[in-house]
Chain A
Amino acid sequence: MSRGVHSLWMAQDGIDKIKAPHIEYDLLAPTLIVIGAAVLGVAIEAFVPRRHRYTAQVGLAVLAMAGAFGAVIALAVSGKGTDEAQIAAMGALAVDGPALFLQGVILLVGVLAVFTFAERRLDPVAHGKQVDSFAAEAAAVPGGKAEQAAVKAGFTTTEVFPLLMFATGGMLIFPAANDLLTLFIALEVFSLPLYLLCAVARRKRLMSQEAAVKYFLLGAFSSAFLLFGIALLYGYSGSVRYAEIADVVAGNPQKMTPALADTMGNDALLLIGGAMVLLGLLFKVGAVPFHMWTPDVYQGAPTPVTGYMAAATKVAAFGALLRLLYVVLPGLKWDWRPVMWGVAIVTMVIGAILAITQTDVKRLLAYSSIAHAGFILAGVTAANEEGISSVLFYLAAYAFVTLGAFSVVTLVRDAGGEATHLSKWAGLGRRSPLVAAVFAVFLLAMAGIPLTSGFAGKFAVFKAAAEGGATPLVVVGVIASAIAAFFYVRVIVLMFFSEPRPEGPAVTVPSAFTVTAIAVGLAATLVLGVAPQYFLDLAGNAGVFVR
């Protein structure tokens, strides 16, 4: 063995030396900061005394997210989003407009998520300690002695902060990934922490764990599809690099790999492989028929996690989907567009219809997020520049609305914790007019009522889709919006025009953390709705992929 190693290093001829990879640290700064902080967070768990961990973790997380956001802004200001967009890290990552835009959105959502994770005023004080939404000791069996002891000791799961940062790090890479392997690694980097986060609810722990297991199993299933698709695409093109695959698809391969002489250029591999990679991404965005995990997981996961997951995962996954379709498979446009049309239509319609009969507010929002995935897919299928920018805008609008809405859900509580059954929300507008009004704004935004960000976003994607020749899709989208408006407005009617139930839940006054999260969500919703043009222009400038 030692001889072999020696010969590898000593050989002057025959074998090329493995070059040390060239890393542009400045271009990757946002991701590196977040992942570095996540590693530091693990160290904090190991070395900092328990009573200081919460403060240390929250401070570190906020600093890391803010620093990374600052780095994104610095890169954007220096033109990396437009004229100087480039490929970094030996071709693994793209630093361009869509990547920076989405990274910015993810980081903002990440900061707000840290706030909602850090909220400790909503749950009643347990044994003299303020606690958050997360289990005292996630590893303990629910209802077992270990758990009781942990609760009594006032433990909290501060590991959620490093997990959140790992997930965020993965999501930052995901829309920037410029080769299929990086894509896959990023997917796993952000998925695994999310599976864990889903399982650590303080209340209804069995449901939380069930959700996590389902998410994990189905996620693994979809990852398998994705990986198999990657293999097939490699077989087809002899490369995992987006640009190189695109060249082969376009019919002008740059080099031939002798070992793959039989399979290269075989269109069946391309079509099946492409479809499987798409499938893996469609699972993450929650498109029908790969959506079935969404309601169960959204309902079971701790609500702050649900809010983060619903907002950030969708942003990251749509970013990756856009890059795949616009950079790798544009030559295949005539093949994937009809299929994506179909997926968009069933996603919009089924998401909207199934939401009608939901009785749990978290499940309702889950189906709403499925319908929104359909609307965004409509923009994706536009296959033009406007399609990119409209999707970017929609994702930003959607992320803030969703995070805000789930944050409001954490406030409405009764003796059993969060009161998520819709019947308990009856008359909330009479008891807590402010909270109900804020939630109503979020619902109206989701319904796409003018003067909210939802309207501007929906208008943008439908316009792009219509200009891209997908008028029938737009018609279906509008009908689905009409159906969706029914259940959003139903909740508003329930809150404001129903008699409050005597034993109904009350709104708990949160700390400044959650207030900030909700306020930012609300402000973004209204600003993007009332004066969308600046942000539409921003998304428009960011709407070009680098190859």
Chain B
Amino acid sequence: MESLIGLLVAAPLLGAAVLLCGGRRLDRTGHWLGTGLAFTSFVLGLVLFADMLGKDGEERALHSHLFTWIPVEGFQADAAFQLDQLSMTFVLLITGVGSLIHVYSVGYMEHDERRRRFFGYLNLFLAAMLLLVLADNFLLLYVGWEGVGLASYLLIGFWQHKPSAATAAKKAFIVNRVGDVGLSIAIMLMFVTFGTFAFEPVMNSVGETGEGKLTAIGLMLLLAACGKSAQVPLQSWLGDAMEGPTPVSALIHAATMVTAGVYLIVRSGAIFDAAPDAQLVVTIVGAVTLLFGAIVGCAKDDIKKALAGSTMSQIGYMILAAGLGPIGYAFAIMHLVTHGFFKAGLFLGAGSVMHGMNDEVDMRKYGGLRKYMPVTFVTFGLGYLAIIGFPGLSGFFSKDLIIEAAFAKGGTQGWILGGAALLGAALTAYYMTRVMLMTFFGEKRWEADAKGDMPHPHESPKTMTIPMIVLAIGSVGAGAFFDIGERFVHWLEPVTGFEHGHLPDGLSVPMVTGATVACMVLGVAAAWLQYGRRPVPAAAPRGSLLTRAARRDLLQDDFNHVALVKPGEYLTRGLVYLDHKLVDGIVNGTAAAFGGLSARMRRVQNGYARSYAVSMFGGAVVLIAATLLMRAV
């Protein structure tokens, strides 16, 4: 069984290599090759999963040592895999959703002449992401971490002919670098502190290490998580990343890659458990981001950017839960999985809408689409109900558990975090209802595109609708399936540990659930009052100060510009000035000095044999004198 783990990564990697190096021969069949290899990985994952279910909880983890990567005295890095319940969850999510999105892309990218390359990148992403979650040490994880970053960069900028896409790709890459530096520093700190960076020895020796060091490692890991998972303060790239093709947004920037930060924190749980300060910062980052993303999502008219705000917000929930320690880890991962279903479904739905609307993304130019795209409407609707936490659907279970856990942290912190999570639930209901109403209900507000063609909305082909249907089923049922009998918690417990949280006095589980549902209803109602009851204006109204700020992503880019870009530019200019004046001055001065010296000295070379002979004679005298002098000294 262990040997299958390597194949899991190898299959999509092979696909990437073949598709990217194969050339035009594969243009007509390459996408099916890529899809087939993604499914191969999925099937391998299922086989391993079945095998895992046949064992007891504590004995389910598999280890596979491939080779010793860096064998140096005092520094050993292995290329080794570890497949436990946590990795397994990710493997199934990545390969399952990944395969569906491969199928969807076959339809979505049908008219793109670089489709083969697109599938090559998708396979590359799968391989890197699987490497990330299967690595048994932080260094190999880092390889996967950078690999998904590369794939993300390539795919965001896939339509590189659009300057906005190229810029967005660059932005994502650069912002992610900041987080990546955090991860590399964390790994170095680990090596210095523990002498290794394999998961097991690190986690086992946490007890013997000072809290200060653990806090430092934890904060660096959090920085890494913030970059990859678009958490405040490194959130700015996710909205722009929607420039990529929609399947990419669904797979990478909703379901899988952006959740890598959550994985990292849950995987390093032992470190955070021993460093409460770092843990507190994690919860604060989660709470701030879940509100930040939700507020941004409320104001966006671009359907994908609204969903991107939502993604940010939902990952905020996961980070918040991961920061709560053993009472939250399992819920973080559970929400991650259910979110994977419904958010991927929502993005695919948005892609389907765009497909029918001449690639229009402005929701103010949609309206009344439910009649024209029934399958999209129903699947999108189910995803919508799941994300707002409609009782009985996936999001209801997973989100409610996180809100309860946040209150269960206890004390003032618990109240603040729980309150933020509740407010987030209301906002989620508001912005998602807004998206739903503006897109599928109300009047038609369609406009001709740049070429003057009016949109003719139609249902998308089967390759696109089938994945949407499958994901909708997951959106509906996954939560209940996981939650009944605490199935998911028991599944993860051997890896992440679990403790029941205790709500503070005066609160009970039904009260929190009731409050969550009430918040949801409030949010829906507010949105209906604003967008359902009266027509949606085709041009965005000016809006309040908060709305305008939210449209500008709560001034994140303005802040970065003033706080980072400008000082950076001044620093660069200063260094360039120094380089020109001082460094070049020395270099050019030296060159000029030697040039001048050379010009003077060459005059000795005057072409007369007699003066050459004199110089030889002089040389001979000096040579002999020097030899004699050496003896005399």
Binding site for B on A (CB under 8 A): 213-214, 217-218, 221-222, 225, 267-268, 271-272, 274-276, 278-279, 283, 288-290, 292-293, 295-296, 334-336, 338-339, 342-343, 350, 353-358, 483, 486
Closest to B612 in A: A292
Chain B interface (Cβ < 8 Å from any Cβ of A): 591, 594-595, 597-599, 601-602, 604-605, 607, 609, 612-613, 615-616, 618-620, 622-624, 626-628, 630-631
CB pair A217–B609 under 8 Å, yes or no, is yes
Say yes or no: A357-B602 contact (C-beta < 8 A), given A290-B616, A292-B616, A293-B612.
Answer: yes
- Nearest CB of chain B from residue A380's CB, rounded to whole Å: 15
Inter-chain CA distance A272–B631, complex, in Å, is 11
10 contacts between A and B (CB under 8 A): A267-B631, A271-B631, A276-B620, A283-B616, A335-B627, A335-B631, A350-B601, A356-B595, A356-B598, A358-B602
* Known contacts A267-B631, A339-B630, A342-B626; A279 and B620 CB within 8 A of each other: yes
Task: Answer whether A218 and B613 are a contact pair too, CB < 8 Å, given A338-B626, A357-B599.
Answer: yes
Check if B615 sits within 8 Å of A275, measured CB to CB.
Answer: no
User: What is the distance, in angstroms, from A216's C-beta to the closest C-beta of chain B?
Assistant: 9
Are B602 and A221 within 8 A (Cβ)? no
A342, B627: Cα distance in complex, Å: 11
For A214, give the chain B residue with the smallest CB separation: B609
Whether A292 contacts B620 by the Cβ 8 Å rule is no
Interface pair A339/B620, CB less than 8 Å apart: no
Which residue of B is nearest A222, CB measured? B616
Q: Is the CB of A289 within 8 A of B618?
A: yes
Residue contact A289 to B619, C-beta cutoff 8 Å: yes
Assess the B627–A272 pair: CB atoms within 8 A: yes
Question: Contacts A217-B613, A289-B616; is A353 near B598 (CB within 8 Å)?
Answer: yes
For the complex, what is the distance from the CA of A272 to the CA of B591, rounded to whole Å? 40
CB nearest to B633 among chain A residues? A338
Report the Cα distance A278→B620, complex, angstroms: 10
Residues of B within 8 A of A335 (CB): 627, 630-631
Query: How many Å from the CB of A161 to the closest CB on chain B?
Result: 29
Nearest CB in chain A: distance from B590 CB, A: 9
Q: Closest Cβ of chain A: how far from B155's Cβ, in Å?
A: 37
- Kindly list chain A residues whose C-beta atoms are within 8 Å of the C-beta of B594: 353, 356, 483, 486
Which residues of the other chain, B, contact A483 by a CB distance below 8 angstroms? 594
Check A354 against B627 for contact (C-beta < 8 Å).
Answer: no
Pick the 7 closest A-B CB pairs, nearest first. A289-B619, A292-B612, A356-B598, A357-B598, A275-B627, A275-B624, A214-B609
- Complex Cα distance, B607 from A334, in Å, reads 37
Q: In the complex the two chains form, is B619's CB within 8 Å of A290's CB?
A: yes
Query: What residues on A are CB-neighbors of B609 within 8 Å?
Result: 213-214, 217-218
Nearest-CB residue, chain B, relative to A289: B619
Closest to B619 in A: A289
Q: How far does the alpha carbon of A293 sit from the alpha carbon of B615 in the complex, in Å?
A: 11
Knowing A218-B616, A222-B616, say if A279 contacts B607 (CB, 8 Å): no
Contacts A335-B631, A339-B626, A354-B598 known; 6 new A-B pairs at CB < 8 A: A221-B616, A222-B616, A225-B620, A271-B624, A338-B626, A356-B598
| A295 vs B604: C-alpha distance when bound (angstroms) | 12
Chain B contacts of A213 at CB under 8 A?
Answer: 609
Residues of chain A within 8 A of B601, CB atoms compared:
350, 353-354
> Could you say which residues of chain A place their CB within 8 Å of the CB of B624?
271-272, 275-276
Residue of B nearest to A487 (CB): B598
Among residues of A, the one whose C-beta sits closest to the C-beta of B608 is A214
A342: chain B residues within 8 A (beta carbon):
626
Q: How far is the CA of A358 from the CA of B602 in the complex (A)?
A: 9
- Interface secondary structure of A, over-half rule: helix
Q: Which of A283, A356, A358 has the most CB of B within 10 A?
A: A356
CA gap between A275 and B631 in the complex, in Å: 13
* Cβ-defined contact, B615 with A289, below 8 A: yes
A267 to B607, CA, bound (A): 38
Alpha-carbon separation in the docked complex, A486 to B594 (Å): 11
A393 CB to closest chain B CB, in angstroms?
27
- Which one of B595, B604, B612 has the highest number of Cβ atoms from chain A below 10 Å of its Cβ? B612
A353 to B597, CA, bound (A): 7
In the complex with contacts A339-B630, A357-B599, A275-B616 CB distance below 8 A = no
Tell me if A339 and B616 are in contact (CB < 8 A).
Answer: no
Contact B595 A271 (CB under 8 A): no
Which residues of chain B are within 8 angstroms of A293 by Cβ–Cβ distance?
A: 612
User: How many angstroms from the CA of A540 to the CA of B274 in the assembled complex?
Assistant: 61
Residues in A neighbouring B605, C-beta threshold 8 A: 292, 295-296, 354
Known: A335-B627, A338-B630. A357 touches B595 (CB 8 A): yes
Assembly CA distance A358 to B599 (angstroms): 9
Instruction: For B604, give the chain A residue with the smallest CB separation.
Output: A292
Contacts of A292 in B (CB 8 A): 604-605, 612, 615-616
- The CA-CA distance from A350 to B623 in the complex, in Å, is 17
The answer for the CA separation of A190 and B615 in the assembled complex, in Å, is 24
A334 to B631, CA, bound (A): 8
Do residues A339 and B591 form an inter-chain contact, with CB atoms below 8 A?
no
In the bound complex, what is the Cα–Cα distance between A276 and B627 (angstroms)?
A: 10
Rounded to whole angstroms, the CA-CA distance of A296 and B615 in the bound complex is 15
Give complex CA distance A170, B591 in Å.
Answer: 42
Bound complex: CA A222 to CA B613 (Å): 9
B623 to A343, Cβ gap below 8 A?
A: yes
In the complex, the answer to whether A221 meets B613 with C-beta atoms within 8 Å is yes
B506–chain A nearest beta-carbon distance, Å: 75
Chain A residues lying within 8 Å of B615, measured Cβ to Cβ, are 289, 292
Minimum CB–CB distance for A236 against chain B, Å:
13
- Which residues of A sit under 8 angstroms from B597, Cβ to Cβ? 353
The reply to whether A339 and B623 contact each other, CB–CB distance below 8 Å, is yes
B599: which A residues are within 8 A, CB to CB? Answer: 357
Measured CA separation A338–B604 after assembly (Å): 26
In the complex, chain B residues whose CB is within 8 Å of the CB of A276: 620, 624
Q: Give B115 Cβ to nearest chain A Cβ, in Å.
A: 37
Residues of B within 8 A of A222 (CB): 616
Q: How many angstroms between the C-alpha atoms of A266 and B626 in the bound complex?
A: 18
Asked if B623 and A279 make an inter-chain contact with CB atoms under 8 angstroms apart, the answer reads yes
Cα distance, A214 to B606, chains bound together (Å): 12
| A contact residues around B595 at 8 Å (CB) | 356-357
Chain A contacts for B604, CB-based, 8 A? 292
In the docked arrangement, what's the CA distance between A292 and B601, Å?
Answer: 12
CA distance A334 to B633 in the complex (A): 11
What is the CB-to-nearest-CB distance from B599 to chain A, in angstroms, rounded to a whole number?
Answer: 5
A276 to B616, alpha carbons, bound, how many Å? Answer: 12
Q: Within the assembled complex, what's the spacing in Å between the Cα atoms of A298 and B597? A: 23
Closest A residue to B624 by CB, please name it. Answer: A275
The answer to whether B630 touches A278 (Cβ under 8 A) is: no
Tell me the complex Cα distance, A279–B624, Å. Answer: 9
Residue of chain A at shortest CB distance from B610: A217
Known: A279-B620, A339-B623. A271 touches B628 (CB 8 A): yes
In the bound complex, CA of A161 to CA of B285 (Å): 86
Contacts of A267 in B (CB 8 A): 631
Instruction: Let me know if B598 and A274 touch, CB within 8 A.
Output: no
Q: How far is the CA of A357 from the CA of B604 in the complex (A)?
A: 13
A272 near B607 with CB under 8 A, answer no
B598 — which chain A residues lie within 8 A by C-beta? 353-357
| Nearest B residue to A342, CB-CB | B626
A218/B623 in contact, CB under 8 A: no
Q: In the assembly, what is the distance between CA of A123 and CA of B604, in Å? A: 35
Bound CA–CA A357/B595 (angstroms): 7
Closest to B622 in A: A289
Q: Which residues of A contact B602 (CB under 8 A)?
A: 354, 357-358
Q: Which of B591, B612, B622, B628 contacts A218 (CB 8 A)?
A: B612
Chain A residues with Cβ below 8 Å from B616 are 218, 221-222, 283, 289-290, 292
Evaluate contact between B623 and A268: CB separation under 8 angstroms.
Answer: no
Expressed in whole angstroms, the Cα–Cα distance for A343 and B595 within the complex equals: 22
Q: How far is the CA of A335 from the CA of B626 in the complex (A)?
A: 9
